[in-house]
Structure 1
């Protein structure tokens, strides 16, 4: 019975996912560091850049980056000190604070994206056929929506 448990294909699936993630992070990390960013910094800035008005409520940014309220506050504080992000209050709703990508933040993204995208292509998307990539994206969205339903912005 124990042998069958150890050979469960679900363990293989999770192991491969973890190994792929760790390997991709190892390939991408030098790109982030070259531009003075961490992976979390880049993730937050990318989410802001792809949001309407290049801004998100702090609570939405926390959900999308899987950070606590205090964690996203520290992240935005660090990016604000670097001039890459600023905070804005929402007129008429003093409870809502937004993180907004600054022009310097957008410029830093424009600098890093060619290297970042080339690395993603080399070590991830370029290794898959279009059909494999489409299936992976579909599957990842299903899983993300089930385990992390707050990962999409609320407007």
Structure 2
């Protein structure tokens, strides 16, 4: 197989992407450490739980949403649990699963931290783009995500955050 090397334009775009993502992640992490004493991953756990029905998600579903391994999520949830921001519950319908639940204290931390987080995201990214560029950015990354999710679907359960159990209630019995 012949290596398809990047063109000079692709190489510049790739390096610009890497530099931007590293700098953005650093700026967001610094803001979240300063305002809430937590890294971006922990904030993302809280934010995803706040958007979930009843502020709870099955750990495996949360890992898949965040695109992280279950062990990395377990570490994050354990730390958040220790701080009283999240608690775990057993899944009634799947004894192999547990749920992460956002506590009232976690909600308060999220509400207190969100304005600074949004301002950092706006100042470091969106204030530097035109409305047309925002649309292009969304289109570009939506395409990348679709392609990568297709690759992950083809990989099946080889993707670290994927698991086939469900914590949805069983369907009602037929009368």
> TM-score by structure 1 length?
0.85
* Aligned position for 2:13: 13
Match of 1:23 in 2: 23
RMSD: 2.1
Alpha-carbon separation, structure 2, partners of 1:47 and 1:93: 21
Unaligned runs of 5+ in 2: 153-160, 169-175
5+ residue gaps, structure 1, are none
Q: How does 1:70-149 map to 2 (within 5 A)?
A: 70-148=71-149
The runs of 4+ residues in structure 1 deviating greater than 3 Å are 148-151
1:6 and 1:118 mapped to 2: Cα distance? 35
Structure 1: distance between partners of 2:6 and 2:147: 26
* Change over 3 Å in CA distance of 1:26–1:70 after alignment to 2: closer
Q: Structure 1 or 2: larger helix share?
A: 1
Give the structure with the larger strand fraction: 1
Aligned-partner Cα distance in 1 for 2:7–2:147? 26
**Cα distance change of structure 1 residues 53 and 135 upon mapping to structure 2, 3 Å threshold:** farther
Shift of 1:91: 2.1
Q: How many residues align?
A: 149
**1:31–1:112 Cα contact (<8 Å) kept:** no
CA shift, 1:39, in A, is: 1.3
